[in-house]
Amino acid sequence: MRNIVTISLPEQLDKEIEKEVKSGKFASKSEFIRSLIRLWQEEKIFRELEQGRKEIEAGMGKELKSLKDLR
């Protein structure tokens, strides 16, 4: 299911997005925004993994006994 979200952008940002769409890199402005959100999600996961690595290196690791322990 998709939800419609309306956002307000400064004219310059809208022009930049439109330029990317017209270049053929994205099918629509919505696809451009979805791409940015996916990148943000990937970066968030990366930061969480890095934090976990630092905790393990500091001896703060947690032994997982089941998948429920991941939550």
Instruction: Kindly list the distances between the CA atom of residue 71 and the CA atoms of 22, 48, 54, 62, in Å, as whole numbers in the listed order.
Output: 42, 13, 19, 12
In this structure, what token pair is assigned to residue 20? 């990317």
Alpha-helical (H) ranges within 1-71 are 11-22, 29-57
| Global pTM value | 0.72
Confidence of residue 51 (pLDDT cuts 50, 70, 90): very high
What pLDDT score was predicted for residue 61? 76
Contacts of residue 26, defined as CB under 8 A and 6 or more positions apart, other chains included, come to 20, 32, 35
Q: What is the pLDDT of residues 23-43, one digit of tens each?
A: 999 999 999 999 999 999 999
Residue-wise pLDDT for 1-29, tens only, equals 889 999 999 999 999 999 999 999 999 99
Which of 8-12, 27-31, 50-54, 63-67 shows the lowest per-residue confidence on average (mean pLDDT)? Answer: 63-67
